[in-house]
Amino acid sequence: MRDVAQLAGVGIKTVSRVVNGEPNVSPATAERVRQAAASLHFEPDLHAGNLRRADRRSRTLGLLVSSVANPFAAQVHRAIERVAIEHGYAVLAASLEDDPDAELRAVTALARRRVDGFVVTPVRDDQAYLRLHVERGTPLVCVDREPHGIETDTVVTSNVEGARDAVRHLLAHGHRRIAFLGDLERIQTAGQRRQGYLDELAASGIDVDPALIVLGLHDDASATAVARRLLTLPDPPTAIFSGQNLVTIGAIRALQQLGLEHDVALVGFDDVETSDLLKPRVTTVSQDADRIGRLAAERVFARLDGDTSPPRHLVVPTRLVVRGSGEIRAPLAAPADVG
Amino acid sequence: MRDVAQLAGVGIKTVSRVVNGEPNVSPATAERVRQAAASLHFEPDLHAGNLRRADRRSRTLGLLVSSVANPFAAQVHRAIERVAIEHGYAVLAASLEDDPDAELRAVTALARRRVDGFVVTPVRDDQAYLRLHVERGTPLVCVDREPHGIETDTVVTSNVEGARDAVRHLLAHGHRRIAFLGDLERIQTAGQRRQGYLDELAASGIDVDPALIVLGLHDDASATAVARRLLTLPDPPTAIFSGQNLVTIGAIRALQQLGLEHDVALVGFDDVETSDLLKPRVTTVSQDADRIGRLAAERVFARLDGDTSPPRHLVVPTRLVVRGSGEIRAPLAAPADVG
DNA sequence: TTGAAAGCGCTAACAC
DNA sequence: GTGTTAGCGCTTTCAA
């Protein structure tokens, strides 16, 4: 910058003014400065400026997700990036892989880089430690899961309602023995989806068979194994509600292996790529990742713009996408037990 | 930092030493400083330090990809992040959506944030403008596509060889009329895959029917339409080689719509999620995104570590994953034309 | 309309 | 072992 000033024959502050588009520079001077800057390939150092700048904004957002390679997280990321760009922001993303320590490390790494705001998918049991950053003026928005130990803006999927929709849909097709396959219990959304499943069955006065509820499934292999076991029970379920997309894939594989894919109904929570191409096509409760990301980013910028209203808890509805597998009807009920 | 120094009753430089783990601090002093830092929740400002630090490293990498939501790019991103973390680095990612102007904007945005290295999927016709950054000491590694106008490290998939493998596989199953469905011509990898297709046919002395080659497909809808048209030709192809995963999905849909999925062979370039669940399962030429990302990141760090050897051009081989659709045999050849 | 001086939070160089 | 001084590249303040 000093070099640019020298070459343009002006003071360093004038260069600063031109670079930042500040007023009170004669067009002629401005032009000379621009020429000089271009010829020296000058790129202002954003971080150096921040040191002294009034707003002290790094124009960078920090994003913590399960994994940038996870399709849902990646879509949320893209949506956040879109909003960020509009505001002249860049996004620093970190993958946590559900590791509580990684959450801490990532927050520290991003804090040292002085991100202006955090969008976090909580992993730890307690996010109270993040209060510090919020108090220091770095807004925090939690996505996908609710944080613990801190009151802050959140944007989550309507997990309970979505699960209820799925189960209601299966009930409407005559099913009474509906299995639930869920992710690890410590993952909040898994618990909520199970809750929706239980709520809807309760609301319909259906007795729950605990044998049909399995949690702790985190990949498709274990889901396949469990689904096979349930489907070969003496009194098997006539429908399956799977609570996560890898689990859905596992369930499909089990159904295919047993040749039951056209006989046992299936509704999966969260989309399965190319679910359109399968036979039958898979009915899913799909999440609006794009909207979640967009809302989260908008919340961050609202806070950066000085919004001090109470924390907002946004719930993004799911959509039941009817494609075929969920509309398989239950076989005629066996005669009621008469003892 | 001054506050920490005051609270610990030491000089500011001692705090710096403790924070950075430099030697020549007595254990007792160090402990007092640590206490003070913790009680004030001190987080050093990485960027402020960089201003004066000898290596001037922001410990941040810039990544430019088609889209962070694209599964291939997202996997590359994750692999880069893994290597980055090991080196204490964070990753700033930007989505270009194949927009040449976005490439320029993203490079500028990252340069102003003083990233230490770039990993770029080139979009523009010319990357000569990046020489500046390289000369100023910011290494550049191009992934997935070769850059133009600059000699730098590259990590790409063996597109030509992978395509040849696919076509050879189809030839081995008796096919002679093999269609090629490719992405937009301006996308380098699309051209390379077509080249591999042509090469392999030429090597086998097969005449190419230009009617069976269609480029310019960028989504599954257009691919479906084109595949339908080809398959309903008077003399239709007996096999399809699709050059991109959305195109593969389109081709599958067309085959399903026409009820031909068990009669016409299909090999797709790049993986299709859940291709395992389809009937028939889809044979693909799969790219090793993880390896590409890892190698690219390792190249950046090698350069940062002072490697000044000539640019390396790494080619990551593909793998033909045999699953069923590519092994459908050609129907018995029609009698040769005898005029 | 312009520029000089001070200072942002930190590290380098050197003195003690 | 420890502290002092200068200065990184920029913006602020304020004087001209």
Q: Is the CB of A334 under 7 A from strand D?
A: no
A69, B74: Cβ pair inside 8 Å? yes
Residue of B nearest to A51 (CA): B48
Q: Which residues of B touch A112 (CB under 8 A)?
A: 43-46
Question: Would you state the pLDDT for residue B338?
Answer: 44
Report for A186-190, A287-291, B270-274: range of highest mean pLDDT: A287-291
Regarding whether A184 and A140 lie in a shared domain, the answer is no
Residues A299 and A186 in one domain: no
Instruction: Tell me if B300 is assigned to some domain.
Output: yes
Nucleotide C9, nearest residue via CA and C1': B48
Residues B30 and B131 in one domain: no
Residue whose CA lies closest to nucleotide C10 C1': B49
In a domain, B55, yes or no: no
Tens-digit pLDDT profile for residues A41-70: 999 999 999 999 999 999 999 999 999 999
Q: Is-cis flag, bond preceding B44, omega within 30? A: no
Q: Could you tell me if A133 and A104 lie in one domain?
A: yes
Cis preceding linkage at A27, omega within 30: no
Q: Do A107 and A8 reside in the same domain of the chain? A: no
pLDDT of res. A273: 83
Q: State whether B277 and A252 contact (CB < 8 Å).
A: yes
Question: What is the enclosing helix (H) or strand (E) of A325?
Answer: none
Decide if pLDDT at A333 tops 70.
Answer: no
The CATH number for B17's domain is 1.10.260.40
pLDDT value at residue B339: 37
SS3 category, A52: helix
Burial, B334: exposed, middle or buried (Cβ in 10 Å; 0-12, 13-18, 19+)?
exposed
Q: Do A109 and B94 touch (CB under 8 A)?
A: no
Low-confidence ranges of chain B (pLDDT < 70): 333-339
pLDDT confidence band for A275 (50 / 70 / 90): confident
Tell me whether residues B47 and A274 touch, CB distance under 8 A: no
Residue A339 has pLDDT above 50, yes or no: no
From A76, A91, A63, A122, select the one nearest A270 (Cα to Cα).
Answer: A76
Q: Does B1 contact strand D, using a CB cutoff of 7 Å? A: no
Domain assignment present for A208: yes
For residue A55, tell me if it sits in a domain: no
pLDDT in tens, A84-141: 999 999 999 999 999 999 999 999 999 999 999 999 999 999 999 999 999 999 999 9
Cβ of A297: how many Cβ atoms within 10 Å?
A: 29
Pick from A75, A113, A279: CB nearest B69: A75
Q: What is the bridge-based pairing of β-strands B265-269 and B239-242? A: parallel
pTM of the model: 0.95
Give the mutation candidate from A3, A53, A274, A281 for the B interface (greatest B CB count, under 10 A).
A274
Residue B36 forms part of a structural domain: yes
B79: nearest CA in chain A?
Answer: A69
Q: Domain containing A205: what range?
A: 159-287+321-327
CB-nearest partner of A112 from B45, B69, B274: B45
In 3-state terms, chain A is what percent helix, strand and coil (to 5)? Answer: 45, 15, 40
Closest by CA to A140, choosing from A281, A299, A320, is A299
Residues 6+ apart with CB under 8 A from A121: A64, A65, A66, A73, A96, A142, A143, A144, A145
Residues B272 and B299 placed together within one structural domain of the fold: no
In a domain, B183, yes or no: yes
Q: Say which residues have a Cβ less than 8 Å from residue B6's Cβ, sequence separation at least 6.
A: none
CA of B113 to C1' of C13 (A): 28
B78/A94 touch (CB, cutoff 8 Å), yes or no: no
Beta-carbon separation of B47 and A114 below 8 A: yes
Nearest of A272, A316, A271 to residue A293 by alpha carbon: A316
Q: In this complex, how many residue pairs, one in chain A and one in chain B, have their CB atoms less than 8 Å apart?
A: 128
Whether residues B282 and B164 fall in one domain: yes
Most A CBs within 10 A among B52, B67, B68, hence the mutation to make, goes to B68
CA-to-C1' distance for A88 and D16, Å? 36
Same structural domain, B293 and B274: no
Question: Do residues B153 and B266 share a domain?
Answer: no
Same domain, A265 and A122: no
Domain total for chain A?
A: 3
Q: Are A274 and B249 within 8 A, CB to CB?
A: yes
Q: Is residue A193 part of a domain?
A: yes
For residue A96, being part of any structural domain is answered with: yes
Burial A58-96 (b: 16+ CB within 10 A, else e): bbbbbbbbbbbbbbbbbbbbbbbbbbbbebebbbbbbbb
Give me the CATH number covering residue B190: 3.40.50.2300
Beta carbons of B278 and A277 less than 8 Å apart: yes
Q: Give the residue on B whose Cα is nearest the Cα of A111.
A: B43
Residue type, B301: F
Say if residue A243 is in the same domain as residue A128.
no
Distance A54 CA to D12 C1' (A): 8
CB-based burial of residue A291 (10 Å sphere; 0-12 exposed, 13-18 middle, 19+ buried)? middle
For residues A217 and A272, which has the higher predicted lDDT (pLDDT)? Answer: A217
**Rounded-to-integer distance, Cα A62 and Cα B248, Å:** 35
Contact state of B94 with A111 under an 8 Å Cβ cutoff: no
Residue of B nearest to A254 (CA): B277
Shared domain check, B294 and B152: yes
Best probe of the A interface among B42, B113, B248, by most A CBs < 10 A, is B113
Q: Establish whether the CB of B13 is closer than 7 Å to any nucleic acid atom in strand D.
A: yes
C1' nearest to CA of B17: which nucleotide?
Answer: C11
Protein residue minimizing CA–C1' distance to D5: B13
Nucleotides of strand C within 7 Å of the protein's CB atoms: 1-13
**Average pLDDT over every residue of A189-204:** 97
Q: Please state whether A42 falls in left (phi above 0), alpha (psi between -120 and 50) or beta.
A: beta
